[in-house]
Amino acid sequence: MTKSILIAGPPGCGKRLLVDAICNEVGANLFDLTAANTAGKYPGKSGLNMLIHMVFKLAEIYQPSVIHIDNAEQTFYKKVPKAEKPLDPKRLKKVLPKQMKEIKKDKRILLIGTSSNPFEGFT
């Protein structure tokens, strides 16, 4: 069973449109955990844990569900560029894999990451 996928391609090629099409076709609810959407919300470690817990709990209740992370490479930066520090993109790095392990095979939850520069997650 596939729990997560990464859609990579150049900017403006329709990655987000593909995510929307997937949600529309299967009638899934879309939860957007993009760094720009979560910046400044639910501060601290306990706030982050609550955010992730709520998103995954609602995704489980309202199946089928798609959890989307745009610019997914930002989550795995080794060193965050100064321009992106206010977004705190590495915030999900430790919590997300733990929560993904909790998804059982019978759950219809899919994590989709989109990226224009997937190789930047390793620099």
Residue 41 lies in a domain: yes
Q: Residue 18: what pLDDT?
A: 93
**What is the per-residue pLDDT across 1-31, written as a single tens digit (0 to 9) for each?**
678 888 999 998 999 999 999 999 999 999 9
> Which two tokens mark 60?
């489980």
Q: Residue 23: what pLDDT?
A: 93
Q: Residue 81: what pLDDT?
A: 64
Closest CA to 95 of 55, 65, 37, 41: 55
Residue 119 lies in a domain: no
Q: Check which CATH number belongs to the domain holding 91 and give it.
A: 3.40.50.300
8 A C-beta contact, residue 119 and residue 66: no
Q: Which of 19-23, 34-38, 67-71, 107-111 has the lowest mean pLDDT?
A: 34-38
Q: Which residues contact 19 (CB under 8 A, 6 or more apart)?
A: 7, 30, 66, 68, 112, 114
Q: Residue 98: what pLDDT?
A: 84
Starting from the edge strand earliest in sequence, which strands make up the sheet with 109-115, in order? 4-8, 109-115, 65-70, 29-32
Residue 21 lies in a domain: yes
Residues 74-94, mean pLDDT to the nearest whole number: 68
Residue 63 lies in a domain: yes
Instruction: Answer yes or no: is pLDDT of 40 > 80.
Output: no
- Parallel, antiparallel, or unpaired for β 65-70 and 109-115? parallel
Residue 116 lies in a domain: no
Residue 122 lies in a domain: no
Residue 29 lies in a domain: yes
Query: Based on the structure, what is the number of domains in the chain?
Result: 1
Range of the domain at 58: 4-111
Alpha carbon distance 25, 28 (integer Å):
8
